A and B are shown apart, each in its own frame.
Chain A
Amino acid sequence: MIARELRDRAAIVGVGYTEYSKNSGVTTLTLALRAISAALDDAGLEIHDLDGVACHRIGDSADPAQVAQALGLADVRLVSDVFGGGSSCIAPLDTAATAVSTGAARCVVVWRALNSRSGLRLAGAATNPALSGDGQYWMPYLHVTAPQQFAMFARMYMHRYGVTAEDLGAVAIAQREYAEHNPRAMMRDPLTLEQYLASRWIAEPLRLFDCCLETDAAVALVLTDTERARDLRNVPVTVSATVVGGGNQLSSNHHVDLTTTAVEPMATRLFAQAGIGPAEVDVAELYDAFTPLVLLQLERYGLCAPGHAAGLVGDGGTRRDGAIPTNTHGGHLSEGYVHGLNHVAEAVQQLRWTCGERQVAGAEVALSTAQPGVNSGLTGAVILRRAA
């Protein structure tokens, strides 16, 4: 955990991507190595500068020991192999940042590599009993896919706050507008409300355009300590605070209001650790496997008041010139689904001021989040800052 004592002592110095596709035609190991190479190139570092490897996966990707071997690393000081999906996507970054800021490791690469369209399709990942301790109570009803699970939550959230289909559509449309300016994005054609409303149901109340894109891709981030980062080629983006944890899920004791999540107590800690308030966040990259999660997190992270997110999005508040530009790459809905790590990569580039037409002018502070703990009860988040 990056608490106050370690604030801004670790920096992200390299960002690397593979191509995004529906069929990569290569192994997840190959995807990981390509993204790691690209991130090292971006940082101006060499493979043998690395002494740490960290990723999250759900039994669907090359393991970090194999990746270290393939890179030729013979003396690795940090190996973090997190079992988990979107809820856990900040955990490897958290471990890496802690390691480089305490000196436990000097330079750590964090990645996520997945063939989530051509390989193990993520939408059906819940059919893997190892992933779902209480899945036995849902699987007999064929209630096993991610859209079904999140649809159950979405209806409760929508009912509580009076959120409509049009409100969900506004989220998808706002993110598509960003994606139109993102050459990496898989979905770049304009999306209208009429098209959104005409799209087919997946699991009511979620339509096709409420759902993220299953993608084959990898994203990698290279971290080192901030002092060293100042000698490298990119503007350092420092890790101001991280939180990873949670606990409040469907079956938790005394969890009566199921629209409350793991986020609320953790958001308070996150901002305290960073020494800022939500109003100081310039860019938010919020985990968006499904549209309702964006509205939920805008509220739960204090970027707007509870029940006000739909209005905020509808009024353009998440656009580039709005109160809180959100999912500026198009998110999982329109850029592609790299299980949370492409959100962090976008946040880094926003703080480097290299995002071209989708750049948020003068962005200094970014928030990037994990899945807010619907079903899993776990989440995480990071606050990043452009180094002075």
Chain B
Amino acid sequence: MTPRPLPPPDLDSGPWWQALARNELVIQRCASCERRRWPARVMCNDCGSFEAEWIASCGTGVVVSWTVTHHSFGPDVEVPFVVALVRIDDQDDIYIPGYVDAPNDGHTMAHGLRVAAGYDTVPTAAGDPLTVLRWRLAG
């Protein structure tokens, strides 16, 4: 597989990547207004509070879009492959990308597919493998 040209997790996002490595999907919850958010942010963009905690996501969602990459843009990039955008069931405005446990040509993909968090690892240019999402079909 192609080593990923990664930007390293930053100080805000570290807990997200560490949770994925434990095969856990987490999101942030504002300690003041309890609104959920993702990607990682230090401040609530609803109430402005800087107090938050990472909590377990319900782990399920629905496919709202997907791409099937056919054009190989690098010498080692194997095509085709599917990347989906999933709206998680925790809150209606949180969309998280990931691979999908489905054929690489995308022919089984559809709007509204129910999925649940699954996990996979990819090699990185830095050497250590990285745990990423591979959504599983949830029927």
Q: With an 8 A cutoff between CB atoms, is A251 at the interface?
A: yes
Give Cα A135 to B4, complex, Å. 12
Contact, CB under 8 Å: B93 / A139: no
Please report A residues at the B interface, Cβ cutoff 8 Å.
123-124, 127, 129, 134-145, 147-148, 151-153, 155-156, 159, 200-204, 250-256, 258
Q: With an 8 A cutoff between CB atoms, is B71 at the interface?
A: yes
What 0/1 pattern do residues 66 to 82 of B give for CB contact below 8 A with A? 11111101000100110
Contact, CB under 8 Å: B71 / A140: no
Give Cα A291 to B4, complex, Å. 29
Known contacts A250-B95, A254-B93; A142 and B70 CB within 8 A of each other: no
Nearest chain B CB to A197's CB is how many angstroms away?
15
**Complex interface: chain A residues within 8 A of B138 (CB):** none
Chain B: interface size category = 35 or more
Partner of A204, one of B68, B77, B98, B99: B68
Partner of B69, one of A139, A203, A253: A203
Known contacts A137-B97, A139-B6, A255-B93; A148 and B69 CB within 8 A of each other: yes
Interface centre among A145, A253, A256 (most CB of B within 10 A): A253
**Complex interface: chain B residues within 8 A of A153 (CB):** 65
| Residues of chain B from 1 to 35 with CB closer than 8 A to chain A in the complex | 2, 4-10, 13, 35
Contact, CB under 8 Å: B7 / A135: yes
Instruction: Report the nearest A residue to B73, measured CB to CB.
Output: A145
Partner of A141, one of B71, B93, B97: B97
**Complex interface: chain B residues within 8 A of A203 (CB):** 67-71
Nearest chain A CB to B94's CB is how many angstroms away?
8
Q: With an 8 A cutoff between CB atoms, is B130 at the interface?
A: yes
Nearest chain B CB to A128's CB is how many angstroms away?
9
- Besides A136-B8, A156-B64, A258-B65, 19 more A-B contacts (Cβ < 8 Å) are A123-B73, A135-B7, A136-B13, A137-B13, A137-B96, A137-B97, A142-B2, A142-B81, A148-B67, A152-B65, A152-B66, A152-B85, A202-B70, A203-B69, A203-B70, A254-B46, A254-B93, A255-B93, A256-B93
The 10 residue pairs across chains A and B that have the minimum distance between CB atoms: A129-B7, A204-B68, A201-B70, A151-B67, A202-B71, A253-B45, A155-B65, A143-B83, A156-B65, A136-B7
Instruction: Report the nearest B residue to A135, measured CB to CB.
Output: B7
Give Cα A256 to B92, complex, Å. 6
Instruction: Report the nearest B residue to A153, measured CB to CB.
Output: B65
Cross-chain pairs A/B with CB under 8 angstroms, 20 sampled: A127-B5, A134-B39, A135-B7, A136-B9, A137-B96, A140-B124, A142-B81, A144-B5, A152-B65, A153-B65, A155-B65, A156-B65, A159-B65, A159-B111, A203-B67, A203-B70, A204-B69, A250-B95, A251-B95, A258-B95
Please report B residues at the A interface, Cβ cutoff 8 Å.
2, 4-10, 13, 35, 37-39, 45-46, 64-71, 73, 77, 80-81, 83, 85, 92-93, 95-99, 106, 111, 122, 124, 130, 132
Contact, CB under 8 Å: B81 / A152: no
Give Cα A134 to B5, complex, Å. 14
Contact, CB under 8 Å: B46 / A253: yes
Give Cα A119 to B85, complex, Å. 31
Known contacts A141-B83, A143-B83, A254-B93; A136 and B6 CB within 8 A of each other: yes
Contact, CB under 8 Å: A142 / B64: no
Contact, CB under 8 Å: B93 / A142: no
Instruction: Report the nearest B residue to A202, measured CB to CB.
Output: B71
Give Cα A143 to B5, complex, Å. 11
Contact, CB under 8 Å: A142 / B95: no
Give Cα A153 to B4, complex, Å. 23
Give Cα A153 to B83, complex, Å. 12
Nearest chain B CB to A291's CB is how many angstroms away?
15
